[in-house]
Amino acid sequence: MTLAPSALAICTAERPTPPQPWIARRPGVPAGQVEQRRFKSAALKNEREVAIYLPPGYSPHAEPYPLLVVFDEEAYLTLVPTPTILNNLIAKKRIPPMVALLIGNAAGARDRELFCNPEFFRTLVTELLPWAHGLYNFTSDPRQTVVAGSSAGGLAAACAGLWRPETFGNVLAQSGAFHLTPPSSRDTTHSNSEPNWMARQFITSPREPLRFYLDAGSAEFNATGGADSILLCTRTLRDVLRAKGYEVHFQEFEGGHDYLSWRGTLADGLIALMGKSTSAR
């Protein structure tokens, strides 16, 4: 199973999908503003695009807005219509108005950075977020900050929460690549030779003030019955986190490893972590 974003395009095969009520533009729903900027990192010595979503009625003088940080910017602007989803959820008061930073990938750097690279997360916290804070009005409260992604981005979101809980208090991982062991200083390639690396990190780490939304698809299994499937490893991580006393929202959706599913479940994760479950759709 490849994890490159270009290979994760929406599946065109006909199959049933769960309802996705938040992905289409709705008449009369105010639209937020999306700005796109370039960010250059001194530490990583690379450059990337960052899209910034500002909610309807955004004011630089209001109380700081809750923050959503999402990896794989291009996919979450196109295959997952994140601005539209946010517009709809905010309009229905399912989540509060929030700012979103959609973090693009530097050229050729996705696998190197999103597979739990400590230098990438250090740069995210010490360079990119302070840069964005200088331009936009959003919170520094980890309880009001969500870090999100799918596949390798879901693995990155979990690592961000584990390693940087003072910044990210909510983890939203869609089909996280929890079946893979990230590269080490000795081995520069990730592998699935020893699944559940992420679960073991939480087992051996102190409990932090984190909340989780995890999901995986019914088709994300290994046909050989091995333990290295995304579905089984996500279930394992769920169980480990709950045993450690974390709040975990878990969804097993009908579908596979693709944006056709993730464009629907992003809203589910945001409602679970930031919203109210009693409002009508």
- pLDDT value of position 79: 97
Q: What is the Cα–Cα distance from 19 to 265, expressed in whole angstroms?
A: 10
In this prediction, the residues of the chain whose per-residue pLDDT falls under 50 are 1-2, 4-15, 185-188, 277-281
Half-sphere exposure of 117 (CA within 13 A, CB side): 18
Q: What is the Cα–Cα distance from 192 to 181, expressed in whole angstroms?
A: 6
Beta bridge partners of 65: 138
Torsion of CA 253, 269, 126, 115, to 10 degrees: 0
Burial class for 2, CB neighbours closer than 10 Å (0-12, 13-18, 19+): exposed
Q: Which residues contact 37 (CB under 8 A, 6 or more apart)?
A: 49, 50, 52, 135
- pLDDT value of position 144: 98
Exposure class string for 10-25: b at 16+ Cβ within 10 A, else e: ebeeeeeeeebebeee
Secondary structure class of 77 (helix, strand, coil)? helix
- pLDDT value of position 147: 98
Q: What is the Cα–Cα distance from 123 to 128, expressed in whole angstroms?
A: 6
- pLDDT value of position 111: 92
The answer to whether 210 and 161 are in contact (CB under 8 A) is yes
Q: Which tens digits make up the pLDDT trace of 165-214?
A: 999 999 999 999 999 998 864 444 555 567 899 999 999 999 999 999 99
Two tokens, residue 107: 């050229």
Exposure class string for 215-244: b at 16+ Cβ within 10 A, else e: bbbebbbbeeeeebbbbbbbbbbbebbeee
Secondary structure class of 280 (helix, strand, coil)? coil
Secondary structure class of 230 (helix, strand, coil)? helix
Q: What's the whole-model pTM score?
A: 0.90
CA nearest neighbour of 198 among 222, 214, 219, 187: 214
List the end-to-end C-alpha distance of the chain, in Å, as a whole number. 35
What's the DSSP call for residue 66?
Answer: P
| Dihedral sign for Cα atoms in the order 238, 166, 124, 57 | positive
Q: E-assigned strands of the chain?
A: 33-41, 46-54, 67-71, 99-103, 145-150, 170-174, 211-217, 247-253
Give the ranges where 39-109 is alpha helix by DSSP (H).
Answer: 73-77, 82-91
- pLDDT value of position 182: 87
Half-sphere exposure of 182 (CA within 13 A, CB side): 24
